[in-house]
Structure 1
Amino acid sequence: MSIKKRGETWHIDIVAPDGSRIRRSTGTPEKRKAQEYHDKLKHELWAVTKLNKRPTRIFEEAIILMLRDSEHQARFDYKQAHAEYFLSIFSGRDLSSITGEELTNSIPDFHAITKKPIANGTKNRYRSTILRVFSLAYKMNWIDGVPYIPRFSEPKVKVSWITKEKANMLIHHLKLNWMKDVCFFALSTGARMSEILSLTWANVDFVNKIAKVTEDNAKSGRARALLLNSDAIDLLRKLRFKNHCGFVFTRSTNKRVYDIDRRDFKNACELAGIEKFTFHDLRHTWASWHAQAGTPLYTLQNLGGWETLEMVKKYAHLNADHMLKFADNVTFTAQSQSKDTMKNVSNY
């Protein structure tokens, strides 16, 4: 039988003209609607085979495509949560029937549990996920185009960084020795928190002065080499003698560190007179120091493991030395004086 009820919902079992078998839920407890869905799908399958018509793809298929594409990326749990959310809205829908207006209106305004308003930055992450769903479907020729979803405006990110003097004060005021080591390493390498706390001795190469950030721990989902300067090398050598754990950064109990001590970090910032500063700002500080020292932005991009050069341009204003030689190419005063001189000469 091609239509069968399972629990409260009717399911279909169809053999397509090409011999393939399709089994799926109709999503309805009403037999009449299930029969209509069955007949429509059977007609479409015939049209696909006989008239070379594009097959209908349902929303779930595109979601699976996106999840498979991103399963090895960092924060895959976010993508899974987003997929579950959008499935609750568009499950069972023909992919090509979903409009940009519907997708825009589906972006949540409030957190499902806390009921608090969702920031525009979070909304844009939902937007990015659903756009990726339709972008992959378009690349697979499942739909004619990617629906338009306007981006939510976000406040411009202000780069927070501190001087080397303030950085020394910050580390001095940290109470926990392992926190001193973690922060010192962050300032020496620009590594992200997840990259630091997941670093193992097996991925530290003292000879070539690099530490490997594995694809599991890299934000981009791709492995990269973390270059170690002399400060970082000296710290790692010191830790190697007293560390008997597979992970580089451990507590005094020789147990792996999964998160920084935020209270210790906050107190140290207050004692050092540093306001509105987070652990991630240590990475901004490292990048700012590089920009001030004249490191080219393209080189800085590779050193820090940023995906695009655009992400590094926020540090460009910290060093304009490379443009100073062009500043005198156009000067109003010098040109005016030159004209006056030529005029005086002509009067003779």
Structure 2
Amino acid sequence: MLYRRKNSSRWWCRFTTPDGREIRQSTGTSDRKDAEGYEAKLKRDLWQQSKLGEKPRKSWQEAVVRWIDETSHKASHGDDLMHLRWLDTHLGDVMLDEIDIDRVDEVIKGRKGSGVSNATVNRTLAVLRAILRRAERKWRWIDRAPAISLLPEPKQRIRWLTHEEADRLIDELPEHLADMARFTLATGLRASNVTGLEWSQVDLARRVAWIHADQAKARRAIGVSLNSDAVQVLRRWIGRHATRVFCYQRRVKGGGVRWEPIAEANSAAWYKALKRAGIADFRWHDLRHTWASWHVQAGTPLHALQEMGGWSSFEMVRRYAHLAPEHLAEYAARIESRDQGAHFPSHIKVVDGGMQC
């Protein structure tokens, strides 16, 4: 039977399947004829599943619920949820086997229409593709997932600061952000690992700190060697907060202050400091790029940098290799001209670095 719920314009259907299960489900439409067609098709599908052993159809929403449950450990879980909330507006009532390449194209068009970059579209498509592949290969909910190609993304230059620019920025930051920036430039840790760093993760006597596996993006523990700059920063914050290393003073009722943990590094104070320092197009995460760039330019081997930075793949570190091409000097010299004057016409002589006719 078809019925409407209170304060809802959509029709719902209710019936009992051949194997005795009671079905109560929205038809997703306010048109009665369409609702009747939906109910008839649903009854037929369930009869075929019960009597003929056909594979039951699953919805996109069912897949999302299972995906969230199975991937809650991912470091990017929060980002996944953001993309899934957007996808729900396009795929909320859709069955998995109805998601074909045409519907994917509609998703791409809708995402691009919201004014985001190709990179953001690709992050959304990556989540969609991962769910559909799991539905095909692991859950066996669909026979075949559509092939989803990502959009081209322009290669971007790595944004990093010179030492002079870094000093200028730090001078403009409030105390807690200034020391957090100094600590990041000394260790290369990600923002969440700096804001969440606890004294239980620090051993100043041994000059080491550590990031637990569940705190690291690659889900592998990171050992942090603390140089003198990092140690000096940490010593300034001893005794301010019982558990957290970095904190800020918050005014409380009665005119007093207390030290509170820092939730976010990318605060309004950060952006105002950037403006005063005359530094544009720079994010907090670019401090990590700056740390890596300084290391490569100072001669730190890429394999050591990978371990220090906690990157899961060598390819992530190779993007800094162009900043230190000195190791190629020997090979560049192999085709040097043995007679430096041989390339000039006979009437031209090289004299003290200049040329005379």
Q: What do the CA deviations read for 1:123-143 (whole angstroms, capped 9, x no partner)?
A: 222212211221221222222
Q: Which residue of 2 aligns with 1:346?
A: none
C-alpha distance in structure 2 between counterparts of 1:71 and 1:198, whole Å: 20
Structure 2 unpaired stretches of 5+: 250-257, 339-357
Q: Which residue of 1 aligns with 2:324?
A: 319
Q: Which residue of 1 aligns with 2:147?
A: 148
Q: Is the 8 A contact 1:176 1:264 kept in 2?
A: yes
**CA distance change for structure 1 residues 144 and 269 in 2, over 3 Å: closer, same or farther?**
same
**CA distance change for structure 1 residues 11 and 87 in 2, over 3 Å: closer, same or farther?**
farther
Q: Which residue of 1 aligns with 2:187?
A: 189
Q: Which residue of 2 aligns with 1:127?
A: 125
Q: Which residue of 1 aligns with 2:27?
A: 26
Q: Which residue of 2 aligns with 1:48?
A: 49
Q: Is the 8 A contact 1:11 1:24 kept in 2?
A: yes
Task: Tell me whether 1:11 sits opposite 2:10 in the alignment.
Answer: no
TM-score (norm: length of structure 2): 0.76
SS at structure 2 position matched to 1:303: helix
Q: Which residue of 1 aligns with 2:341?
A: none
Q: Is the 8 A contact 2:212 2:220 kept in 1?
A: yes
C-alpha distance in structure 2 between counterparts of 1:33 and 1:104, whole Å: 25
Q: Give 1:184 deviation, angstroms.
A: 0.7
% identical equivalent positions: 32
SS at structure 2 position matched to 1:161: coil
The residue identity in structure 2 corresponding to 1:121 is A
Q: Give 1:167 deviation, angstroms.
A: 2.9
Q: Give 1:29 deviation, angstroms.
A: 4.2
**CA distance change for structure 1 residues 280 and 22 in 2, over 3 Å: closer, same or farther?**
same
**CA distance change for structure 1 residues 248 and 322 in 2, over 3 Å: closer, same or farther?**
same
Q: Is the 8 A contact 1:174 1:264 kept in 2?
A: no
SS at structure 1 position matched to 2:62: helix
Task: Tell me whether 1:103 sits opposite 2:101 in the alignment.
Answer: no
Task: Return the structure number with greater helix share.
Answer: 1
Q: Give 1:273 deviation, angstroms.
A: 5.9
**CA distance change for structure 1 residues 261 and 147 in 2, over 3 Å: closer, same or farther?**
closer
Q: Which residue of 1 aligns with 2:172?
A: 174
Q: Give 1:331 deviation, angstroms.
A: 3.7
Aligned length, in residue pairs: 322
**CA distance change for structure 1 residues 49 and 239 in 2, over 3 Å: closer, same or farther?**
same
Q: Is the 8 A contact 1:10 1:29 kept in 2?
A: no
**CA distance change for structure 1 residues 20 and 205 in 2, over 3 Å: closer, same or farther?**
farther
**CA distance change for structure 1 residues 324 and 37 in 2, over 3 Å: closer, same or farther?**
same
SS at structure 1 position matched to 2:151: coil
Q: Give 1:284 deviation, angstroms.
A: 0.6
The residue identity in structure 2 corresponding to 1:290 is H
Q: Is the 8 A contact 2:216 2:222 kept in 1?
A: no
C-alpha distance in structure 2 between counterparts of 1:261 and 1:39, whole Å: 54
Q: Give 1:118 deviation, angstroms.
A: 2.0
Q: Give 1:99 deviation, angstroms.
A: 1.2
C-alpha distance in structure 2 between counterparts of 1:170 and 1:86, whole Å: 39
| Higher RCO structure, 1 or 2 (CA under 8 Å, sep 6+) | 1
TM-score (norm: length of structure 1): 0.78
Q: Give 1:251 deviation, angstroms.
A: 1.6
Q: Give 1:267 deviation, angstroms.
A: 5.9
